[in-house]
Amino acid sequence: MCRIKPAFFRGHAPVLGILRGIPLSAVEPLAETSIRAGLGALEITMNSVDAPDLIQALVKVAGDRINVGAGTVLSMADLNVAVAAGAAFVVSPVCDPELISAATQMGVDVIPGALTPSEIQLSWRSGASIVKVFPAARMGPDYFSELRGPLADVPLMAVGGVRPENAGDYLECGADAVAFGGSIYRSDWITNQNYDQIETELGRLVCAVDESQEK
């Protein structure tokens, strides 16, 4: 069952990359590396230094090849700045119905964070495009199997602790998408411009996701 709009991931793997605290000089190589690896979406977190400039740069580099958004959106001010910078979607670690409603009225996809069934249902009924189950690592892939009983139609994204070794497990257990950040976009690799290693790990993660979808 496909619960997520295909356009969100541009027809690529249902994988969202989270870029936090990166330098402006790293935007283009990270974008190109992520696109080559087959990612469908990238976000710049709003608690990054110069986040609006980073989002604008990423939008310019990415064009229509990958969906670009803003993460760690916690307030209406964050939302307004993110959308003005060109974010096509926003992600939050919390469920804020007012923020969700405002984002949908602006015409951008919104991915609120939730953990319990009640929070997930509230997020979905408030207008979420996908619900970010966070922190997924604390619950594990089996948690998604449990959620699928009562919440069969709600699109879920596993966020927190996702790695190439376990990404497929989350999808096989009921997640529709996964997101990752520092497990592959490591600060030391970025500082040392080790983009080949990043691309290798991205490829492993996307491969795991693709294989899980074929089962």
Alpha helices (runs of H) in the chain, residue ranges in sequence order: 27-37, 51-62, 76-85, 97-106, 117-126, 136-139, 142-148, 167-172, 187-191, 195-214
The angle formed by the CA atoms of residues 84, 87 and 50, to the nearest 5 degrees, is 70
> Nearest Cα to 1, choosing from 10, 14, 19?
14
Q: Which residue shows structure tokens 């592959």?
A: 184
- Give the Cβ contact number of residue 107 at 10 Å: 8
Reply yes or no on whether 43 is catalytic. yes
**What digits encode the pLDDT tens for the residues 8-49?**
998 899 999 999 999 999 999 999 999 999 999 999 999 999
Q: State residue 42's pLDDT score.
A: 98
From 5, 60, 98, 132, the catalytic residue: 132
Q: State residue 3's pLDDT score.
A: 87
Domain ranges (residues) in the chain? 6-214
Look at the alpha carbons of 8, 36, 71, 167 in this order and tell me if their dihedral is positive or negative.
positive
Expressed in angstroms, the distance from the first to the final Cα of the chain is 13
From 28, 43, 146, 214, the catalytic residue: 43
pLDDT greater than 80 at residue 159 = yes
- Whether the model clears a pTM of 0.85, i.e. scores above it, the answer is yes
Kindly indicate whether the domain formed by 6-214 is annotated with CATH number 3.30.470.20. no
Reply yes or no on whether 132 is catalytic. yes
Distance CA 93, CA 74 (A): 8
List the structure tokens of 127.
């207008």
Encode 114-144: b = buried (16+ Cβ within 10 Å), e = exposed. bbeeebbbbbbebbbbbbbbbebeebebebb
pLDDT greater than 90 at residue 7 = no
